Chains A and B, each alone.
Chain A
Amino acid sequence: MANKVEAMAGTKPQDPKSSDPSLFDDISSFNFSLKSLKLKTKQQEFLIRVTILCLVYVLAFSTRLFSVLRYESMIHEFDPYFNYRTTLYLTEKGFYEFWNWFDSESWYPLGRIIGGTLYPGLMVTAALIYWGLRFLRFAVHIREVCVLTAPFFASNTTIVAYFFGKEVWDTGAGLVAAAFIAICPGYISRSVAGSYDNEGVAIFALLFTFYLFVKAVNTGSLSWALASAFGYFYMVSAWGGYVFIINLIPLYVLVLLVTGRYSMRLYIAYSCMYVVGMLLAMQIRFVGFQHVQSGEHMAAMGVFFLLQVFYFLNWVKHLLSGTKLFETFLRITVTSAISVGILALGVGSASGYISPWTGRFYSLLDPTYAKDHIPIIASVSEHQPTAWSSFMFDFHILLFLFPAGLYFCFKRLSDGTIFIVMYGLTSMYFAGVMVRLILVATPAVCLISAIAVSATIKNLTSLLRSKSKVHSGSVKGSTSGKASSKASVDQTLPFQRNAAIALLLGAFYLLSRYVIHCTWVTSEAYSSPSIVLAARGAHGNRIIFDDYREAYYWLRQNTPPDAKVMSWWDYGYQITAMGNRTVIVDNNTWNNTHIATVGRAMSSYEDEAYEIMQSLDVDYVLVVFGGVTGYSSDDINKFLWMVRIGGGVFPIIKEPDYLVNGEYRVDKGAAPKMLNCLMYKLCYYRFGELRTEYGKPPGYDRARGVEIGNKDVKLEYLEEAFTTSNWIVRIYKVKPPIIGGEFSNSLSFLPLD
């Protein structure tokens, strides 16, 4: 073996990348065994590549563990708790029970068909990992698996990014793309350990599907197209964002058609991927026939038929010899095809067979749509239009490298680069519309920036190398023609080498700043579980506010198992997962009227609210209040949306009743309805007696920096059941009705004097 390597190295001295043969001989004369370990250049390159990829893989995983180190191995935020709860159910009861699960613990009294209203990809993935590890006798807890699923898939994404970069550009770009995406804050924000959400696996699935499709287009191979269909199936099973794929790929096919890049490869790739992908996607209950019926999926079908017509025309063109005849045929075919398409679409939409676009889809295309029509979408902070600063925060230097990468892509147009450009541009638009869609744009931005970085550095280093090669070449006499031409360029630009060095240094500085920025953002901004709040004390010590879990655990242990808890929908998933109690509304938000009913109860007077709560069998009411700690995302600050959503369905709630000069206030100048509505009373019950800050009057609300307006809150129909140690969560018990009539009736029997 050693001899073979030596022989092969010896036979290719002209390989410019191979090491200096004289040096090689020197070493061999000293130590034969060392020479035998010496690898070929190609092997060296492979080894380096694999090492870098392994390091990137580990880095992508470990950089997401800040939250575990800072806090603990726990599930974060809101939606992940639902996913965790369903995964737990899946691992305990098995797949069929999970698939047919009717959950009566949420959306009381309606319930929710879990199996038919979720994307099961994430849960099934985690359960499979869990069962696999159990089978291999790793006694892990399902929670650990769930916590680490997102980092694990982020690591896998880096590998896909590498192959994708390799496919559209070269291995260098692939490596840079892998490194970029491993630490890009835009992606980390959704994939830190504990962020057990659909996006965690979906970004992997998205990029994987795209990669496989590009590969299929480049090779024209049926197997790659089939693989991309399966990738698409996985994506559909994991996240609603699959709509992006099923619209981007047709758009890409259309662009290729229009630009005259139609090929048999494209035909095979798209036809196979669409048909198989569609059939597979329809197996997901939540998607089902939407895939052929809803407006969002029509573009893909249209392009599919267009492609068939195109193929048919090509075939006819091949058969018909006369151009004139073909042109007539073309005209007839195109006209009839378009008219049939439009007719089918028209009849389909008119008859209701094809459903119109959903509000969420509209709000993607038109950022102002949600604000006017669907307050429930607009109320979520991650659905807000993106601010400039968050682009900078999430992409840092990639934002500047992106246009440069686009330039390189346009310079070397191929089917692959066209795809990546289209992906980049469309996803950038969507990222501008909604904050959370920065996530979708991140892989594209990383890939395109990686192309820019890789191409630039490659150019610069080749400049450096060509110069040195001139010197060494003159000694050895083996200068290639390319190098000599570069050398002639060198003479025309005397400072080229220095400039290249300076630019390289600049590039490395920028890249190192990127790494520092990413690490800082990850550790400071994206690693907070938001269930446990941490603050710095006066002496620099860390204070932990664990009030959420305190309250949920209290609910879990000390309330009847069938108790119904009413709270704003944000906390629904957490209450069912951690508190194990039935909730009225939760983060699924599938029934706007139900949420509006809760919003109405919260914004009504206590007696009116009591009637609503009685009709919903509410036993406990949970509110989140930050007035003592200065925690600003509490229910008083969310109250605006409760009024707005409640008022959207029940006109009895009028937003101006709660406003004074167009703003929400809680101090003395607040609107009287505001001071006496249920939410205000529950948040500020007995708060007027509490002194929160030295030198301030009692009842000083630290979250809003005002002294509250109604310090003498009396509750008639509810009583305080539990308040957490920092007052962040307050739970009230709804008193049972007095037998023989309602409160108001019984009061009327009292003598009036």
Chain B
Amino acid sequence: MAMKLKLINALFFSLISSLSFFLGSSSVGIHDGLRITNAERRVENKGVSSMSEVILGFSPVEIDHLALLKAAVPGGTKKKITYTSLDVNPKLPDGPNGTKYFSITLLNPLKAGEAVTLEVLYILTESLEPFPSEISQSESQLVYYRDSAVILSPYHVEQQTTFIRTPSTRVESYTNVEPTNRAGLELKYGPYIDQSPHSFSPIIVHFENNNPFVVVKELVREIEISHWGSIQVKEHYMVAHAGARLKGAFSRLDYQSRPSANGVASFKQLLARLPPRVSSVYYRDEIGNISSSHLRLDFKKSELEIEPRYPLFGGWRSTFIIGYRVPLEDFLYESTDGSRRYLNFTFGCPMMETVVNKLTIKVVLPEGSKNPTVVAPLTLEQHLEIKYSYLDVIGRPVVVLTKRNVVPEHISPFEVVYDFNPAFMLAEPLILVSVFFVFFLACIAYLHGDLSIQKYKTS
């Protein structure tokens, strides 16, 4: 083990010495609370040995907020660009100042003198800081964005440019690292030529962002399978407005009469995208139903538009529950021999454009199902639980999947495979039947007993 580690270390150092990193452009789109970075990197192997992986570096602050990291190689013709995704894995050890490394495994080892263009997508959550941190109802929200003008990289970077796209043209201030210029929504840092490895030049951009900072602090989705024909989904949301806190009074009068000038930074509506053919949709919280919701049904999807009980201003929170039922045949498949079942469901938060700090998915399998395994494209924490529902004797196995920092890009199908014997479906009806049978038997016994007493009396 130690031997191998050493080897990797050696390789690593040799790469640094012999490789320079050419970075075409990196653009930063700023979007409610998250920051999506699309970096296009052109890597050229200027060393002598061939190289099979490329290292990416992230500062410790970024690592804490990193929700997603993807890399792909663009290919194909100019008209139709196809992307081939690559494996990205964390790489040890850390670099100087706590820099964390990730390695991208290339499809073919890069020979000396060759170049490859990589596209890296990474999403950071909660990297916009509202400033001022408290605003009144009529003010709009300003945020700080902190980054580095040059990319943090273990390589020698030949040329690099950073574009920052702001949601509105109102930019209060920005750090100037020559050459820097601003046009419309776009702020351009660079190009910077020949940066040494691990160089860092912090920048701060202060701009207006009135997008609602919808953060789902915690989401628990409970997917309960009934082999009698439906899947019942129940989602517990804990939503907060993570933007600048509301300072002073909330005036309903201003909010109602001048909605454009008042409460621009607040939101009062959320949109959830549900599977098609949903039925029995409900929307409630701990103290009862919430009547302000609309459901639009479609062949491809269903959209549920919900309004929390009150508009959410900065720092305000709300919790609610959404529940619905979907037909079983849309999501559950049977193996050819009939013993295994495959549940195909979507991972992620159905609420559009939200960040989920902690997502828990509980798949409640029917009573009597065995050997559940999860096939998911993401790494998830998982464990098993037992839940007792109506007329359960041995309890239902529950597969619990947990993930932190979930963004809309994580929405992807996952699969739960389990063994199920259809005879278990009859257990609950049989219990009911036997209870009623015993009840009627008792009635018959009682009535007959009654009769015999009367007969004795008459005779």
A664 close to B (CB within 8 Å):
no
Nearest Cβ distance between residue B365 and chain A, in whole angstroms?
Answer: 16
B38 close to A (CB within 8 Å):
no
Nearest Cβ distance between residue B435 and chain A, in whole angstroms?
Answer: 9
Instruction: Select B288's contact among A72, A139, A556, A727, beta carbons within 8 Å.
Output: A72
Nearest Cβ distance between residue A181 and chain B, in whole angstroms?
Answer: 25
Interface centre among A74, A531, A553, A722 (most CB of B within 10 A): A553
Task: Give the residues from 692 to 722 in chain A that come closer than 8 angstroms, CB to CB, to chain B.
Answer: 719-722
Nearest Cβ distance between residue A14 and chain B, in whole angstroms?
Answer: 13
Nearest Cβ distance between residue A729 and chain B, in whole angstroms?
Answer: 11
Task: Chain A residues near B252: list those with CB within 8 A.
Answer: 720, 722-725, 727
CA of A556 to CA of B455, assembled, Å: 67
Task: Chain A residues near B253: list those with CB within 8 A.
Answer: 686, 689-690, 723
Task: Chain A residues near B116: list those with CB within 8 A.
Answer: none
Task: Chain B residues near A74: list those with CB within 8 A.
Answer: 288-289
Give 1 or 0 for each of B312-332: 1 = CB within 8 Å of chain A CB.
000111110000000000000
Instruction: Select A549's contact among B248, B257, B309, B319, beta carbons within 8 Å.
Output: B309
B391 pairs with A720, CB closer than 8 A: no
Give 1 or 0 for each of B275-306: 1 = CB within 8 Å of chain A CB.
00000000001111111000000000000000
- Known interface pairs A544-B291, A725-B252; A553-B391 also in contact (CB < 8 Å): no
Interface centre among A557, A722, A723 (most CB of B within 10 A): A557
A415 close to B (CB within 8 Å):
no
A558 close to B (CB within 8 Å):
yes
A578 close to B (CB within 8 Å):
yes
Task: Chain B residues near A721: list those with CB within 8 A.
Answer: 249-250
B317 pairs with A558, CB closer than 8 A: yes
CA of A28 to CA of B172, assembled, Å: 102
Task: Give the residues from 359 to 401 in chain B that come closer than 8 angstroms, CB to CB, to chain A.
Answer: 388-393
CA of A721 to CA of B246, assembled, Å: 10
CA of A544 to CA of B451, assembled, Å: 57
A546 pairs with B291, CB closer than 8 A: yes
A139 pairs with B251, CB closer than 8 A: no
A546 pairs with B454, CB closer than 8 A: no
A138 close to B (CB within 8 Å):
yes
A550 close to B (CB within 8 Å):
yes
Give 1 or 0 for each of B428-459: 1 = CB within 8 Å of chain A CB.
00000000000000000000000100110000
B424 close to A (CB within 8 Å):
no
Task: Chain B residues near A719: list those with CB within 8 A.
Answer: 248-249
CA of A689 to CA of B316, assembled, Å: 27
- Known interface pairs A720-B250, A723-B250, A727-B252; A137-B391 also in contact (CB < 8 Å): yes
B333 close to A (CB within 8 Å):
no
Nearest Cβ distance between residue B450 and chain A, in whole angstroms?
Answer: 8
CA of A558 to CA of B308, assembled, Å: 13
B287 pairs with A553, CB closer than 8 A: yes
CA of A690 to CA of B249, assembled, Å: 17
B310 close to A (CB within 8 Å):
yes
CA of A554 to CA of B316, assembled, Å: 9
A558 pairs with B390, CB closer than 8 A: no
CA of A558 to CA of B393, assembled, Å: 41
A482 close to B (CB within 8 Å):
no
Task: Chain B residues near A554: list those with CB within 8 A.
Answer: 309-310, 316
Nearest Cβ distance between residue B319 and chain A, in whole angstroms?
Answer: 7
A331 close to B (CB within 8 Å):
no
Instruction: Select A553's contact among B257, B291, B318, B389, beta carbons within 8 Å.
Output: B318
- Known interface pairs A553-B310, A686-B251; A139-B287 also in contact (CB < 8 Å): no
CA of A666 to CA of B388, assembled, Å: 58
Task: Chain B residues near A395: list those with CB within 8 A.
Answer: none
A526 close to B (CB within 8 Å):
no
B388 pairs with A137, CB closer than 8 A: yes
CA of A723 to CA of B393, assembled, Å: 49
Instruction: Select B309's contact among A8, A546, A720, A723, beta carbons within 8 Å.
Output: A546
A552 close to B (CB within 8 Å):
yes
Task: Chain B residues near A686: list those with CB within 8 A.
Answer: 251, 253
Instruction: Select A139's contact among B286, B289, B389, beta carbons within 8 Å.
Output: B389
A549 pairs with B287, CB closer than 8 A: yes
B310 pairs with A550, CB closer than 8 A: yes
Instruction: Select A72's contact among B289, B317, B388, B455, beta carbons within 8 Å.
Output: B289
A558 pairs with B454, CB closer than 8 A: no
Interface centre among B252, B257, B286, B315 (most CB of A within 10 A): B252
User: How many CB-defined contacts (below 8 Å) exist between A and B?
Assistant: 74
B contact residues, range: 20 to 34
A42 close to B (CB within 8 Å):
yes
B388 pairs with A139, CB closer than 8 A: yes
B317 pairs with A557, CB closer than 8 A: yes
Task: Chain B residues near A557: list those with CB within 8 A.
Answer: 316-319
A contact residues, range: 20 to 34
Nearest Cβ distance between residue A501 and chain B, in whole angstroms?
Answer: 35
B393 pairs with A722, CB closer than 8 A: no
CA of A724 to CA of B255, assembled, Å: 11
CA of A318 to CA of B190, assembled, Å: 122
CA of A453 to CA of B249, assembled, Å: 64
A720 pairs with B251, CB closer than 8 A: yes
Residue of A nearest to B313 (CB): A558
CA of A733 to CA of B251, assembled, Å: 12
A137 pairs with B250, CB closer than 8 A: no
Task: Give the residues from 634 to 693 in chain A that come closer than 8 angstroms, CB to CB, to chain B.
Answer: 686, 689-690
CA of A558 to CA of B310, assembled, Å: 11
A137 pairs with B316, CB closer than 8 A: no
A138 pairs with B390, CB closer than 8 A: yes
Task: Chain B residues near A552: list those with CB within 8 A.
Answer: 287
- Known interface pairs A546-B291, A686-B251, A686-B253; A722-B389 also in contact (CB < 8 Å): no
CA of A489 to CA of B450, assembled, Å: 40
A137 pairs with B310, CB closer than 8 A: no
Residue of A nearest to B255 (CB): A723
CA of A72 to CA of B315, assembled, Å: 31
Give 1 or 0 for each of B191-233: 1 = CB within 8 Å of chain A CB.
0000000000000000000000000000000000000000000
Task: Give the residues from 232 to 252 in chain B that come closer than 8 angstroms, CB to CB, to chain A.
Answer: 248-252
Nearest Cβ distance between residue B428 and chain A, in whole angstroms?
Answer: 9
Residue of A nearest to B395 (CB): A137
CA of A139 to CA of B224, assembled, Å: 14
Nearest Cβ distance between residue B233 and chain A, in whole angstroms?
Answer: 16
CA of A43 to CA of B390, assembled, Å: 37
CA of A198 to CA of B361, assembled, Å: 41
CA of A337 to CA of B250, assembled, Å: 73
Instruction: Select B250's contact among A72, A138, A722, beta carbons within 8 Å.
Output: A722
Nearest Cβ distance between residue A700 and chain B, in whole angstroms?
Answer: 15
CA of A725 to CA of B259, assembled, Å: 13
Interface centre among A74, A531, A725 (most CB of B within 10 A): A725
Residue of A nearest to B388 (CB): A137
B388 pairs with A558, CB closer than 8 A: no
CA of A43 to CA of B310, assembled, Å: 62
CA of A7 to CA of B17, assembled, Å: 113
Nearest Cβ distance between residue A627 and chain B, in whole angstroms?
Answer: 13
B390 pairs with A553, CB closer than 8 A: no
CA of A546 to CA of B292, assembled, Å: 10
A549 pairs with B288, CB closer than 8 A: yes
CA of A1 to CA of B451, assembled, Å: 11
B309 pairs with A550, CB closer than 8 A: yes
Task: Chain A residues near B393: list those with CB within 8 A.
Answer: 137
Task: Chain B residues near A137: list those with CB within 8 A.
Answer: 388-393
Task: Chain B residues near A733: list those with CB within 8 A.
Answer: 249
Nearest Cβ distance between residue A212 and chain B, in whole angstroms?
Answer: 22
Nearest Cβ distance between residue A718 and chain B, in whole angstroms?
Answer: 9
Task: Chain A residues near B257: list those with CB within 8 A.
Answer: 690
A to B CB contacts below 8 Å, 8 in the list: A552-B287, A553-B285, A554-B310, A558-B317, A686-B253, A720-B249, A721-B249, A724-B310
Given contacts A546-B290, A553-B310, A724-B310, 12 further A-B contacts (CB under 8 A): A43-B451, A74-B289, A137-B391, A531-B288, A554-B316, A556-B286, A557-B317, A720-B249, A721-B249, A722-B250, A722-B252, A723-B253
9 nearest CB pairs, A to B:
A723-B252, A720-B249, A719-B249, A550-B309, A578-B287, A72-B289, A557-B317, A74-B288, A139-B389
